[in-house]
Structure 1
């Protein structure tokens, strides 16, 4: 099984993707893997739930009366649909900042209807359309509440970025001094750590009190509950994270990251899953994730069928005809202690 993810055009194999998978429990024990479970990886936006924990820990989310949908939003890589943009606008209004305080840049949103309406009305793309605008509004909320500089909140030396490092160190079980730091697509620090440690973070996000009873575990629980109660805020229409959490009805918490990263936590088993597509192509990530969930016995036949478009993903042409499939062909390696 040298080609774990296969892309077919008709009946012909056209392309392949290599993947790495780590599955761990809340203790950090590696139970299953494929490829290199310790591959150094930038989890990218998969780290947003832990960045959100730092906002809640300051007391800022409560002080500015965040509801659970807004907590979910600050974990999001959203489509830029009206529900997402309006929620960001509400947060900014509450902390008395203008939209230009967001330093995430902007881009064409995934929600094409919103983009077409913007063009028809002669509008311009602004930062609120960025898929990371929720995360940035959360960081600004913490900076405002803590009376810190809102102009330098992206700087790794900023107190809020240091708080994020503290969260990652404890939850992911990796010393912050060993983290390699670079810059994410939206301009904030991004952290490199072994894939296994990212999986550990998601195990503890899924089952925080099974990890340890503490204030930080309770903050993780709040973030998990917000994401799973309001999955529409995490991604949006036709997004794997959103649809997976909806189908599993609050059991799974999921967050994708750029360059082919997908992370999932299972609150029932306390397992954390981290996947990295070696070439960074995100089209392979959901296919790999669905196969992992199936092999672990987490995804039964009924739910698999509900999510089939992500497990046996169609390859479409410009006419929207299905002319091929993306499929999985690998078997997880199990270690002592695995079920």
Structure 2
């Protein structure tokens, strides 16, 4: 039931297509627009991270350990492993009294090529701090320590921290416990499966939490406010999530997930957007996510120009020559 969302051309000819589904949902959970199958199930992957950060603030843990906006933003991020990211994660760990060995996300080379090259030139080597999920794990560590639960087991599915974030997703998405299933994510923590339109509903709540209890609404505003204030912490230099949040100046927060998942919240509008690329290729997720914003009228002309490189990316060969383009081709269907 999915549809072709994005095409890839080489020269004048079509070379590849990426199929997928999109759901646009309002604050009441109503489906506003869709493409493909808005009810399909998917793992939220890293699109879950801003939701995982809400209990960190709501519980009082963020204030207890003195986490600032920069640190809260990196807890929501899938970062490039740039020095600004690793410094910020180290700052969180210092406040908790932990070293990076407490992170159980695994070793990963930095996404940023120049950072990786400099690391090797300096005689260093990749470590858990370079993992794109290290900020998220540092936030989970903080919550575990604050709750008095074993911080070394924070990624176990039955750990109080994981139960807390699972309940947060369930409540924001408006789903029953038996509608959520879990598996192990790339960084070792549980990743949760739910319908695409329910993930969009959770992002609608992030976009406008005014109908929620005051403590939760305040926590959500602090999380999204940190992402807006420091978009560079959410992904990194030249990355879509950081660029779209910065260019749109507080109108949205955006968060990618692995395997072609992407979510956007329209701030102060209570509209959530979730999409899934069937083949899991994120090169199609970003043009599709930006095209949704364009069709919804979110982009001013000057903003679209600044983001054109993400809307219709060029395909280059190893000589740096432009040999093709990636282009969204779908139309949102009004529900």
**Given the two structures, how large is their TM-score scaled by the length of structure 2?**
0.97
**Which residue matches 2:252?**
252
1:130 matches 2:127: no
> How far 1:277 moved relative to its partner?
0.4
Aligned residues: 334
**Is residue 260–residue 279 contact of structure 1 (8 Å, CA) maintained in 2?**
yes
User: Whole-Å Cα distance in 2 between the matches of residues 176 and 250 of structure 1?
Assistant: 33
The equivalent residue for 2:214 is: 214
- Which residue of structure 2 lines up, in the alignment, with residue 227 of structure 1? 227
For 1:251 and 1:231, the matched residues in 2 are separated by 12
Matched position secondary structure for 1:4: strand
Query: 1:149-204 CA distances to partner (integer Å, 9 max, x unpaired)?
Result: 01111001100101001101111111233211001100000000000011011111
Q: Which runs of 4+ in 1 moved over 2 A?
A: 1-4, 211-214
Once superposed, what is the RMSD of the aligned Cα atoms?
1.2
State how far apart, in whole Å, the 2-side matches of 1:305 and 1:111 are: 25
* Shift of residue 301, structure 1, vs aligned partner: 2.1
Q: Match for residue 27 of structure 2?
A: 26
Distance 1:99 1:276 in 2: 33
Instruction: Name structure 1 gaps, 5 residues minimum.
Output: none
> How far did residue 302 of structure 1 move?
1.8
1:172 paired residue number: 173
**Other-structure match for 1:263:** 263
2:186 alignment partner, SS class: coil
| 1:35 equivalenced with 2:55 (yes/no) | no
**TM-score where L is the length of structure 1:** 0.96
**Cα deviation digits, residues 5-38 of structure 1 (max 9, x gap):** 1100011100001020000011100000000001
For the residue of structure 2 that corresponds to 1:105, the secondary structure is coil
Q: State which drifts further: 61-70 or 313-322.
A: 313-322
Q: Distance in 1 between matches of 2:16 and 2:260?
A: 16
- Equivalent residues of 2:3, 2:36 under 8 A apart: no
Separation (CA, whole Å) in 2 of partners of 1:64 and 1:72:
15
The within-5 A match list for 1:269-308 is 269-308=269-308
**CA distance in structure 2 between the aligned counterparts of 1:177 and 1:63, rounded to whole angstroms:** 34
Distance (whole Å) between structure 1 residues aligned to residue 225 and residue 242 of structure 2: 14
**SS in structure 2 at match of 1:318:** coil
CA drift at 1:268: 4.0
> Which is worse superposed, 119-128 or 192-201?
119-128
1:5 aligns with 2:6: yes
Partners of 1:66 and 1:4 lie apart in 2 by: 40
Aligned residue number for residue 330 of structure 1 = 330
In 2, the alpha carbon distance for the partners of 1:71 and 1:151 equals 21
Distance in 2 of aligned mates of 1:21 and 1:301: 24
Instruction: Tell me by how many angstroms 1:4 deviates.
Output: 2.7
CA distance in 1, matches of 2:135, 2:197: 27
Shift of 1:213: 4.3
